[in-house]
Amino acid sequence: MVIQSCLTIVFDGAFYQAIFEQQTVKTYSVARISLGPTAPTMPEIWQLVNQSWRRLAFQTVVNVPTTKSRHLNPKRRQRQVQKELRYPRSSTRAQVVLQ
């Protein structure tokens, strides 16, 4: 079984929010944590991922459209990651599930 996970840190105007997304073959789950008014540092993020993962309360959606993952060239994947880092996206699917 393949589990895909994503962590997005968003500043909503007052506080930084950490949005965890987790997708398996049949389910899509989302959890959100408020990080406070100051920007989180890398050690804080590592601690959050490594130590607090088990305590997250994920909200689950069962009906997930399936997508086939195909093998991508490592250089192409690296270019896609760099492009995503330049243009941050809002995780609207996660925000819909959390509301």
- Specify the range with the lowest mean pLDDT, choosing from 2-11, 59-68, 76-85: 59-68
Domain boundaries, the chain: 4-98
Place of tokens 């989302």: 30
DSSP assignment of 9-70 equals EEE-SSSEEEEEEEE-SS-EEEEEEEEESSPPPHHHHHHHHHHSGGG---EEE---------
Q: What is the mean pLDDT of residues 6-31?
A: 87
Confidence of residue 65 (pLDDT cuts 50, 70, 90): low
pLDDT at 29: 87
Mean pLDDT for all residues in the chain: 81
Q: What is the mean pLDDT of residues 83-99?
A: 69
